[in-house]
Amino acid sequence: MPGVTGEVEAAVAEAFRAEWGRVVAALIARTGDWDLAEECAQEAFASALRVWPRDGVPERPGAWLTTTARNRAVDRLRREAAGAAKLREVAALAPAGGSAPDPGELVEAAEEVPDERLRLIFTCCHPALSMEARVALTLRTLAGLTTAEIARAFLVGEAAMAKRLTRAKRKIRHAGIPYRVPPAHLLPARTPSVLAVVYLLFGEGYAATAGADLVRVGLSAEAIRLGRVLVRLMPDEPEAAGLLALMVLHDARRVARVGASGEVVPLEEQDRSRWDAELIAEGLETLEGELRRGRAGPYQVQAAIAACHARAAVAEETDWRQIAALYGELVRLVPSPVVALNRAVAVGMADGPEAGLALVGALEGALPEYHLLPATRADLLRRAGRRGEAADAYREALALVTVDAERRYLQRRLREVEAALG
Amino acid sequence: MQYMLLICGDESAAAHANDGCGGWSEEMLERGVLRGGGGLRPADEATTVRVRDEEVLLTDGPFAETREQIGGFCLIECADLDEALEVAAKHPAAGYGTIEVRPMLVPPPGVT
């Protein structure tokens, strides 16, 4: 019966996405051994693929997997004399020993095993690790991507990625990076690193175009999954919810933002019927709950900006005044020239292109070699009807742009203003 | 765990050589964290020793010609890296130089 096999495979795949990080996190908490945890989790999923088609999908797949992985760890540690102390810890993960989990044990195990993923992600994102290492470790241990997949997603060789992961795990062990959620006084300094890793993953996947590797495109789905876990595990952190809202509101526009020939479709020209209404509803709901707390941070403000776009059924209904005000707030929270450039776009829409151009003018020199500076100036000049200057600015942007989809957009605009010039 | 704090700085840091540690040493001794340490004379007074093919080779100067040189060190005993980083950040030299926090090698069992 191929249908049944397919169903079981789908159940294992779903359990993998939902449970991998939990299983690994629980085993690291008990053994302190990252490699052992990964290997035993791997074996537990492999045995699910063998056993579930025969015995059926267990009622609580997560508990089954944790218990199976735990038993693998117990077996392995028994073989090593040095494993005695770890063995006692692992044994405590479930009430009884034995090699095959029995149903009664599983229910108890699920209730007893606490969710350790927050400890895992804070450790993966410790600022004593390089950003590349944080990203790779998070994908490996929390999302369960293989080393080969992570290497492909970041366009590096598999051997180099394996080395990066090994080095990071070695540093955690030998430098004494604690496996914990930081104490309250360290949280304000450490939480941004966790959120930044998740947002970087989302951005990498979101920037990948239709033709790109599927693993790379899948990074944004992994980031959203991690975002949902963070919101559940850090209910008092409004920026976690802000980040989730920001990601889903952007992801809702994913399909509509790339045209038939792979070019970027600007927001104002997107077919809004292709936006994902379900994701927009989730984003708006997540965001509104947080804003009521009155502890705004950069992710919530960016999500609020995305929400303004999401609420407009047609581009003309966009509340640019509100967006310009939100960018003003964002510039205050994150004083960067890139944010200031985005504010100039919004002000250009709210108060007219000349007002936007004045703000862009103040940024000249602050963003050398950044194609979006001349591209923004070009769009504002075009709106102001100053076509000759707009054409020059589009040419300036084309000389700097590196992403094909954006190059095609700029070329199209240049052709349009040149045609209008006659 | 034991960590070595390597206190580094460029030439301008030499001006702080006799500043003392502004109460840091006393605080860390009190906490039971500080196990030892001291300041160093300037790197241009260093002599580097290597033995190759049973020949002793001496070089005038530090082992690496970099802008920043080690000016002092402290051995500390901490629960984990987070505590070591907090202790390092409190050291006055972190304000004008750089402090490298290095875990000490733990010898395998049986090696003394």
Where do the domains of chain B lie, and which CATH numbers do they carry? 2-103 (3.30.70.1060)
In chain B, residues with a C-beta closer than 8 Å to the C-beta of A126 are 81
Q: pTM to 2 decimals?
A: 0.85
How many CB atoms are closer than 10 A to CB A247?
30
Candidates A172, A177, A179, A187, partner chain B, best to mutate (most B CBs within 10 A): A177
> Is this prediction's ipTM beyond 0.90?
no
Q: Minimal Cα–Cα distance from B60 to chain A, Å? A: 33
Written as one letter, the residue type at A261 is S
Interface subset of B 62-81, CB within 8 angstroms of A:
78-81
Q: What is the mean pLDDT of each run of 10 residues along chain A (422 residues)?
A: 72 92 94 94 95 92 93 87 67 51 46 82 96 96 94 91 96 95 93 95 80 78 94 93 96 88 84 95 92 85 96 94 96 94 96 96 90 96 95 96 86 93 78
pLDDT of residue A122: 97
C-beta separation of A252 from A280 below 8 A:
yes
In chain A, residues with a C-beta closer than 8 Å to the C-beta of B81 are 126, 128, 175-178
- Give a three-class secondary structure readout of A161-201: HHHHHHHHHHHHHHCCCCCCCCCCCCHHHHHHHHHHHHHHH
Candidates B1, B85, B102, partner chain A, best to mutate (most A CBs within 10 A): B85
Q: Per mean pLDDT, which range of A19-33, A102-116, B3-17, B64-78 is the poorest?
A: A102-116
Chain centroid, CA A10 distance in Å: 23
DSSP letter at B28 equals H
Chain B interface includes A176 (CB < 8 A): yes
* Pairwise pLDDT comparison (A166 vs B19), residue with the higher score: A166
- Give a three-class secondary structure readout of chain A: CHHHHHHHHHHHHHHHHHHHHHHHHHHHHHHCCHHHHHHHHHHHHHHHHHHHHHHCCCCCHHHHHHHHHHHHHHHHHHHCHHHHHHHHHHHCCCCCCCCCCCHHHHHHHHHHCCCCHHHHHHHHCCCCCCHHHHHHHHHHHHCCCCHHHHHHHCCCCHHHHHHHHHHHHHHHHHCCCCCCCCCCCCHHHHHHHHHHHHHHHHHHHHHCCCCCCHHHHCHHHHHHHHHHHHHHHCCCCHHHHHHHHHHHHHHCCCHHHECCCCCECCHHHCCHHHCCHHHHHHHHHHHHHHHCCCCCCHHHHHHHHHHHHHHCCCHHHCCHHHHHHHHHHHHHHCCCHHHHHHHHHHHHHHHCHHHHHHHHHCCCCCCCCCCHHHHHHHHHHHHCCCHHHHHHHHHHHHHHCCCHHHHHHHHHHHHHHHHHHC
Residue of chain A minimizing CA distance to B107: A174
* Pairwise pLDDT comparison (B4 vs A88), residue with the higher score: B4
In chain B, residues with a C-beta closer than 8 Å to the C-beta of A32 are none
pLDDT of residue A112: 61
- Contact across the interface for A186 and B82, Cβ inside 8 Å: yes
CA A120-A122-A128 angle, to 5 degrees, is: 115
pLDDT of residue A1: 44
Q: Minimal Cα–Cα distance from A400 to chain B, Å? A: 35
Mean pLDDT for the stretch of residues B23-31: 93
- Give a three-class secondary structure readout of B32-68: CCEEEEEECCCHHHCEEEEEECCEEEEEECCCCCCCC
- Contact across the interface for A176 and B80, Cβ inside 8 Å: yes
In chain A, residues with a C-beta closer than 8 Å to the C-beta of B79 are 176, 178
* Pairwise pLDDT comparison (B23 vs A261), residue with the higher score: B23
- Contact across the interface for B82 and A175, Cβ inside 8 Å: no
In our burial notation (b when 16+ CB lie closer than 10 A, e otherwise), range A208-235 reads beeeeeebbbbbbbbbbbbbbbbbebbe
How many CB atoms are closer than 10 A to CB A182?
18
C-beta separation of A249 from A303 below 8 A:
yes
In chain B, residues with a C-beta closer than 8 Å to the C-beta of A174 are 103
pLDDT of residue A103: 42
Instruction: Give bridge partners of residue B4 from the DSSP assignment.
Output: B75, B102
Q: Minimal Cα–Cα distance from B109 to chain A, Å? A: 11
β-pairing, B69-77 with B2-9? antiparallel
Nearest by Cα to B1 from B105, B112, B108: B105
- Is B7 strand, coil or helix? strand
pLDDT of residue A3: 58
C-beta separation of B87 from B78 below 8 A:
yes
DSSP letter at B98 equals E
Average pLDDT, chain B: 89
pLDDT in tens, B93-112: 999 999 999 999 987 777 66
Dist. CA A36–CA A28, nearest whole Å? 8
Q: A349: left (phi > 0), else alpha (psi -120 to 50), else beta?
A: alpha
